[in-house]
Structure 1
């Protein structure tokens, strides 16, 4: 039944009549509860998006020795450790896929621009080439062009 203005039928919440506690407000964060049981400590909030961007910018501009040190540091955040390890592995294999992915995440994929035809198909005009051997043929060719 749709709600009608002035409808008095149905449940009305009062100071005495409230919904059960498990149905009110935001649900509990089961992740934090589970981690507290497993590790017996409170878990920090983790890395923000800004922190991730700062790590990415630092690692892209880092020296090879800094990247290798970061890849071997067990106390580094796992995100930075993973990126540093991937970049070092790419360098050893002569690839740039990790750096390319980070660059595209920050600046977007390079767009191909068509500056000549504005997206239309190019119309190729045929060029007619006439080979002339002597001066007589040149004069004859010029006369033919004048007649047309």
Structure 2
């Protein structure tokens, strides 16, 4: 008999009389931080603010980034990004910059091209579909599905 099958008496099963000592969900991270700091914790940045800050950082010189890092009022997430940029510079990598560009501008797309050759046998015989475009092949397949009674 499996552990949670009806009728299983093995183990500590919860009933209306047998409830866990700590019932309920854990408080959210914001409530936990509020109880620790005594301050209301909530989002302060919108997505647009975040992107503007990242763009601002990407356009600064090394000296400007160093002065931002030394300021004690600089948020830790900004310091982390600056530190990652400096780490990339130190080791000759571009991974942080690439990640930031992907976030700001979206990942670049790579078009995929290919030749599609299809031969379909029907009541008329072999039909050469190699001269049809992709869109025309899609329409052709939809028409065949409709003729054969399949849902489109």
1:78 maps onto 2:76 in alignment: yes
Alpha-carbon deviation of 1:41? Answer: 2.4
Instruction: Tell me which residue corresponds to 1:120.
Output: 115
Distance 2:64 2:110 in 1: 35
Distance 1:53 1:84 in 2: 14
Higher relative contact order (CA 8 A, sep 6+): 1
Any idea what the Cα deviations from partners look like across 1:67-108, whole Å, max 9, x if unmatched? 222233332112211111111111111111101111011222
Instruction: Tell me which residue corresponds to 2:109.
Output: 111
Structure 1, unaligned stretches of length 5 or more?
1-28, 122-148
Any idea what the Cα deviations from partners look like across 1:91-126, whole Å, max 9, x if unmatched? 111111101111011222223346xxx4239xxxxx
Alpha-carbon deviation of 1:44? Answer: 4.6
Query: What is the RMSD computed on CA atoms of the aligned residues?
Result: 2.5
Q: Is the 8 A contact 1:68 1:88 kept in 2?
A: no
Distance 1:81 1:112 in 2: 33
Within-5 A mapping of 1:1-148: 30-113=28-111, 118-120=113-115
Q: Give the number of equivalent residue pairs.
A: 91
- Report the TM-score when normalising by structure 1: 0.51
Q: Is the 8 A contact 1:70 1:76 kept in 2?
A: yes
Distance 1:54 1:89 in 2: 22
Q: Is the 8 A contact 1:36 1:43 kept in 2?
A: yes
Q: Is the 8 A contact 1:67 1:88 kept in 2?
A: no
Q: Is the 8 A contact 2:30 2:42 kept in 1?
A: no
- Report the TM-score when normalising by structure 2: 0.50
Distance 1:37 1:43 in 2: 10
Rg larger in structure: 1
